[in-house]
Amino acid sequence: MTLASLLPFLAASEARAEGTFWMPEQASTFAEEVDWIYYFIYWIDVLFFFLVIGAMVYFAIRYRAKTGKERTSPLKGSHSLELAWSAIPGLILLSFFWFGFQTYMDMQVPPKDALNIRVTGQKWNWSFEYPDYGIRQGGDQGLVVPSGQPVMLTMSSVDVLHSFYIPDFRVKKDVVPNRYSTIWFEAKGTGDHQVFCTEYCGDDHSRMLTKVHVMEPAKFREWVRDNKADDGPVDGQSLFSSMGCIGCHSIDGSKLVGPSLKGKYGTDEQLTDGSTVAIDDNYIRESIMVPGAKVVAGYAPQMPPYQGRLNDEEVNALIDYIKTLK
């Protein structure tokens, strides 16, 4: 059996690994397929690397410079050889395309029974909404999904270009303002998996992190029951997290891209134009709806407006929560 005939088996062997030197663990149904293609290309590259370098070294030695009396034999062209070294690489490249295109198409079409979750990216936090259950999660709470069930993420951005990437699942997609993009996956097993933003989006791009929490289906149903929205009052603390506020405004006094909100209510704040303003209900509401109207000194006007995204009840809940940050 030649090395060339072993390549698919080597690739499959690598793809079954829980994690390799090159790839992280396989935590979704796509991971094995993506890894197979990766290692299929990898081993072909290794084969041709040694073929090309080996031939180059051989010819460099075999046909090294001769003395004046030793002449190299005249060379004649070979149509068969030229056809072979054009056709064989061409067929190999077509195989790369075929396997890659099949996997790409599989990753673009989610099943009809997929769980729908909305993902919103903004500087510098992720938020997740479960329309079927009325649940909203912030980036610090993570994305909760069931194991063994297809999940479709419908994603958009409220400010700049972001990119949602789960290495263990082998899925990644740009999150674009004023447009919806989708990805889907089916998680295997249970556990936590890291999520990155892989499109540079400003100062705290490297901190735009969250987790995917994969649960057994029964435990996920229990989580849904415990977190499903009811007709009770809006929780300002949960809303503060789920809307991404905590990504820019700390509640412990530390400085982030926006001013800390600890102990701010009832005090005066200096603005970029040199004036001061009292931090009361009206100021907080205006800062949420039209944040560019009054910008705090020392900070850039980077906060996106929430006008049209929050209703009066939600704004009131946020104001009441900010009052408690002593």
Torsion of CA 14, 19, 22, 26, to 10 degrees: 80
> What is the maximal distance between C-alpha atoms in the chain?
99
Distance from C-alpha of 295 to C-alpha of 279, rounded to nearest angstrom? 12
- Distance between CA atoms of residues 268 and 270, nearest Å: 7
Q: Which amino acid is at 270?
A: Q
Given the structure tokens 């400085």, which residue do they identify? Answer: 255
Looking at residue 201, its amino acid is: C
Q: Which residue type is seen at 51?
A: L
Token digits for 288?
Answer: 């949420």
Taking the C-alpha atoms of residue 298 and residue 283, their distance in angstroms, rounded to an integer, is 18
What is the per-residue pLDDT for 271? 93
**Token pair of 105, please?**
């198409």
Residue 153: CB atoms within 10 Å: 24
Domain topology for 236-323: Cytochrome Bc1 Complex; Chain D, domain 2 (1.10.760)
Q: What DSSP element (H or E) covers 136?
A: strand 135-138
Sign of CA dihedral 66, 69, 70, 71: positive
pLDDT of residue 72: 66
DSSP codes, 221-272: HHHHHHH---SS---HHHHHHHTTGGGTS-SSS---SS---TT-TTSEEEBT
Helices (H), 63-149: 79-108
pLDDT at 128: 92
The Cα–Cα gap between 149 and 156 comes to 23
Cα angle for residues 198, 117, 209 (degrees, 5° grid): 30
Q: Which pLDDT tens digits describe the chain residue by residue (326 residues)?
A: 444 444 544 444 444 447 777 888 888 998 888 989 999 999 999 999 999 999 999 988 887 777 667 666 677 778 888 888 889 889 999 999 999 898 888 888 888 889 989 898 988 899 998 888 888 888 888 999 999 999 999 888 888 999 999 999 999 999 988 788 889 999 998 999 999 999 999 988 999 999 999 999 999 999 998 888 766 667 888 889 888 888 889 999 888 889 999 999 889 999 999 999 999 888 998 999 888 899 999 998 888 888 888 887 788 889 889 989 98
Beta pairing, strands 210-215 & 143-146:
parallel
Q: Which residues contact 170 (CB under 8 A, 6 or more apart)?
A: 26, 28, 30, 31, 34, 35
Q: Among 122, 120, 304, 124, which residue's Cα sits nearest to residue 207?
A: 124
Terminal Cα-to-Cα distance of the chain (whole angstroms):
73
Topology of the domain comprising 115-227: Immunoglobulin-like (2.60.40)
| Predicted local distance difference test score (pLDDT) of residue 209 | 93
pLDDT tens per residue across span 129-188: 888 888 888 888 899 999 999 999 988 888 899 999 999 999 999 998 878 888 999 999
Using an 8 Å Cβ cutoff, are 211 and 192 in contact? Answer: yes
Query: Which of 142, 83, 148, 89 is closest to 117 using CA atoms?
Result: 142
Kind and range of the H or E element at 33?
A: helix 29-62
SS3 119: strand
Indicate the domain borders of the chain. 3-66+77-108, 115-227, 236-323
Do the strands 268-270 and 276-278 form a parallel or antiparallel pair, or are they unpaired? antiparallel
